[in-house]
């Protein structure tokens, strides 16, 4: 999706000058420049290729000194911006959305989550298949945060899924 958006930008068909972004999650403890941090991923694969104003890019800080405060402030930033028009994300193999595992509260807000064993195992592929290198916690928007968006677009990564 990001490649297509970059292509549209380069072709002069779309501008991101006034777009505000709010990423859905971030690992706790990974440096921003770690190749598997969502901060790094978004800048390398999207933001540095478009005309977005850096002050409009909002990413959770998994290295904040107070993670709970970071989550509360993130929710406040979303609220102050007028809410989210469109959340774009994926549904994981076990049905998780962001780092909200199946059974997460439908009214949950941005918070610190301890990752389920299934999630750790699935994400080990991003860490040279070494599960010990996968961060055990992440910051994630809550299901309630996602449901507050005016539009939600999810791609399914379920095995054998038929569209």
Task: Please list the active-site residues.
Answer: 25, 94, 96, 101
**Structural element, H or E, at residue 7:** helix 2-10
**Structural element, H or E, at residue 79:** helix 67-80
The answer for residues whose C-beta is within 8 angstroms of residue 128's C-beta and 6 or more apart is none
The half-sphere exposure of 41 on its side-chain side, counting CA atoms within 13 A, is 13
Number of Cβ within a 10 Å radius of residue 58: 13
Rounded-to-integer distance, Cα 32 and Cα 66, Å:
16
Helix (H, G, I), strand (E, B), or coil: what is residue 141?
coil
72: its two tokens = 């509360």
């Amino acid at each position: 999706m990001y490649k297509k958006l970059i292509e549209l930008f380069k072709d002069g068909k779309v501008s991101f000058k006034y777009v505000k972004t709010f990423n859905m999650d971030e690992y706790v403890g990974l440096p921003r420049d770690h190749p598997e941090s969502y901060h790094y991923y978004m800048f390398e694969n999207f933001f540095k290729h478009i005309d977005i104003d850096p002050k409009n890019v909002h990413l959770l800080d998994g290295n904040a000194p107070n993670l709970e405060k970071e989550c509360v402030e993130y929710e406040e930033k979303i609220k102050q911006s007028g809410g989210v028009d469109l959340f774009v994300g994926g549904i994981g193999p076990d049905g998780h959305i962001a780092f909200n595992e199946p059974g997460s509260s439908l009214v949950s807000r941005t918070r610190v989550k301890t990752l389920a064993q299934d999630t750790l195992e699935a994400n080990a592929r991003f860490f040279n298949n070494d599960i010990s290198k996968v961060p055990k916690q992440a910051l994630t928007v809550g299901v309630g945060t996602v449901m507050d968006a005016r539009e939600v677009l999810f791609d399914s990564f379920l095995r054998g899924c038929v569209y």
